[in-house]
Amino acid sequence: MAETTFMGVPRDQIPWFPTIDYEKCTFCMECDTFCPHHVFERREDDRKLVVANPSNCVVFCRACAKTCGPDAISFPGRPETIARIKQIREGVIVK
Amino acid sequence: MKRAILSCNGLDKPEGSVAREVAIRSADAIGGEIICPVLLNRAPARYKKALSDSSLIVVDGCSTRCATKLATRLGAKVERKVLVSDAVKASGQALESTLSLEPNGLALARTIVEELIRNLNAPAVAVEAVAEFETPTEYLVVTHDKFEFRIPVVDYVFNENDVWARALDGVARVGISDFMQQKLTDISYFDPPKVESVVEQFGELGSLESAKAVFEIIAPVAGVVTAVNPAVIDNPGLINEDPYGAGWLVEVKMTAFPQDEELLLDPATYAEIIKRKAAEE
């Protein structure tokens, strides 16, 4: 299978995915129910929800955070992410 | 058209208490009927007439957005939405942690209602579209199973987030692609960006909602929002019917074009992206 890319950059080189604040998360699973890309996974241990597939996350999408009542999901800044994508495209960062 | 108000019940969070207060005060101010979300969920028939005769003002307390989800599930026509947790952030003033309303919560409820009434009386949407565009006539077509996704052959550029831009005289008209509108299915609500707001490339230009998903509109170009399509506010179904024409969303006065083009796709390249995305579905 061909490697997944975003704007010509390998997806796993782009650090865009949700981070869960476990101090705030109530494990309501709204984000997991919402996300069609299977970024999250439910677990049987203490951390009942994890970001299991970060590369499945749609770059620049933050829609799951908007479903989060306790405001427990954060994302990197868009400007830094764009800067990183541009740097990789221009060969400033060697993969 | 009459208006009805569907609100978060507000019993277990301070934001909910504010939502409830907003609903009561709005109903007083505009003479609209209040719909109880618990009863609506339990016995929708009770509000059948109110839902068919009225446009809804939906007030959510937190991002769980129970009231919005209820409205979407029942196919209600939503005119305006309020999200109290966003209003708290915008106000820069923390709410008290009590469930009964205290001065900060009450002041916020008053402010939200004032803004809501102001917006209802004078929609914050620029009706004047600046650009004159002709509807495209020639398309590339990507087929996948029984689906066909159209992409205009000329004048349109795309980002990988399935948003198009069409530029003319320094202004870009923006909308979503045929692929994305089919993926979302029937779009029920367009939450537009504020006119005159500044947006960066890949920043957010509001969002779309269908029963299936919420879609953030990722800006293909940087600039200042100069117009929001009033026809789409009234009838979001236009996006499904004509995503490249009458279903356009906003216009942006561009501030970094043609530099922004570096990270945009021409129709043929976007067609390749669609093929990949459709295969991954």
Mean of the per-residue pLDDT values for chain A? 89
Q: Is residue A2 part of a domain?
A: no
Q: Is residue A24 part of a domain?
A: yes
Residue B75: its pLDDT value, please? 82
Residue A90: its H or E element: none
Q: Tens digit of pLDDT for each residue in B262-279?
A: 899 999 999 999 999 898
Q: Is residue A8 part of a domain?
A: no
Q: Which of A63-67, A88-92, B1-5 has the lowest mean pLDDT?
A: A88-92
For the residues A12-18, what does the mean pLDDT come to? 95
Chain A positions touching B213 (Cβ under 8 A) are 34, 36, 63
Q: Dihedral angle at the C-alpha atoms of B28, B191, B182, A63, nearest 10 degrees?
A: -110
Interface test with A, best of B176, B199, B202 (most A CBs within 10 A): B202
Share of chain B above pLDDT 90, in %: 68
CB B174, CB B253: distance < 8 Å: no
Chain B positions touching A7 (Cβ under 8 A) are 160, 263
Of B64, B218, B262, the CB nearest to A67: B64
Max CA separation in chain B (angstroms): 60
Phi, psi of B42 (to 5 degrees): -80, -40
Please, which residues have CB within 8 angstroms of residue B184's CB and are 6 or more apart in sequence?
B176, B208, B210, B212, B213, B215
Q: Is residue A54 part of a domain?
A: yes
For the residues B91-118, what does the mean pLDDT come to? 93
For the residues B219-229, what does the mean pLDDT come to? 95
Nearest-Cα residue of chain B relative to residue A90 = B262
How many CB atoms lie under 10 A from the CB of residue A71? 15
Domain total for chain A?
1
Q: Is residue A45 part of a domain?
A: yes
CATH code of the domain covering residue A83: 3.30.70.20
Is A69 in CB contact (< 8 Å) with chain B? Answer: yes
Query: By residue range, what is the domain housing residue A58?
Result: 17-89
Residue B128: its pLDDT value, please? 60
Would the CB atoms of B214 and A34 count as touching at under 8 Å? yes
Q: Is residue A34 part of a domain?
A: yes
What residues does B141 pair with on adjacent strands?
Answer: B150
Q: Quickly state the pLDDT bin for A2 (edges 50, 70, 90).
A: very low
Interface residues of chain B, partner chain A, Cβ below 8 Å: 13, 62-65, 85, 160-161, 200-204, 207, 213-216, 218, 262-263, 276
Q: Is residue A39 part of a domain?
A: yes
Residue A1: its pLDDT value, please? 41
Tell me the residue length of chain B.
Answer: 281
Q: Quickly state the pLDDT bin for B131 (edges 50, 70, 90).
A: low
Would the CB atoms of B160 and A7 count as touching at under 8 Å? yes
Token pair 């504010």 is found at B18
Q: Quickly state the pLDDT bin for B78 (edges 50, 70, 90).
A: confident
Q: Tens digit of pLDDT for each residue in B25-73?
A: 999 999 899 999 999 999 999 999 998 888 899 999 998 889 998 998 8
Residue B118: its pLDDT value, please? 87
Tell me the three state secondary structure of residue A86. helix
Helices B14-30 and B84-91: crossing angle, nearest 10°?
A: 100
Q: Quickly state the pLDDT bin for B127 (edges 50, 70, 90).
A: low
Would the CB atoms of A7 and B263 count as touching at under 8 Å? yes
Global pTM? 0.83
Q: Dihedral angle at the C-alpha atoms of B228, B233, B237, B243, nearest 10 degrees?
A: 0
For the residues B169-180, what does the mean pLDDT come to? 95
Measured distance CA(B164)–CA(B76) in Å, rounded: 29
Model ipTM? 0.85
Q: Is residue A94 part of a domain?
A: no
Chain A positions touching B204 (Cβ under 8 A) are 62
Would the CB atoms of B64 and A28 count as touching at under 8 Å? yes
